[in-house]
Amino acid sequence: MLEHLGQRLVLDHRGRIPVCQNRSVNRGMLLHAPLGAVAGDGWPTRLLEGLPYARRLALEQRAAADLYASLAGLALALCAVGRLRDAAVPALRTLTHDAGGKPAFPGAPHFSVSHCQGHVACIAVESVAVGLDLEAVPEMFRR
């Protein structure tokens, strides 16, 4: 299952998400949105307040736009992980980070979040660690 919102996703020739040279996953979810579309009534504050204390303090040091983008990415991660498992979303207080700073929910699917120039995206997969890097397309390549 791959959920895709709003844009074409390029898959490999078997219709699977390419993960690395020798492995692919059959079950993954990609969610993305323009940051302006992630507006809502107080959700950023509620999300921030639900995070582990140390993570909340670190995020509060960021510029407002970066803080908002990080929280929007986390909101997409919660949705993707919950939908992939067809279950309730993980509790925010269980969010951990490895030594490299990669976020994770214990016992939940692997996920990666990225944001860039007004867009945010999250990919979640069951079987392998995953990474996502969202980058702006240079103007010379846009149609």
Instruction: Report pTM.
Output: 0.77
- Residues 105-132 pLDDT 10s: 998 899 999 998 888 999 998 878 888 8
Structure-token pair, residue 81: 């992980």
**Cα 40 from Cα 55, distance rounded (Å):** 22
Indicate the residue type of 75. A
- The pLDDT of residue 9 is 43
Positions of the chain with pLDDT under 70: 1-26, 37-40, 141-143
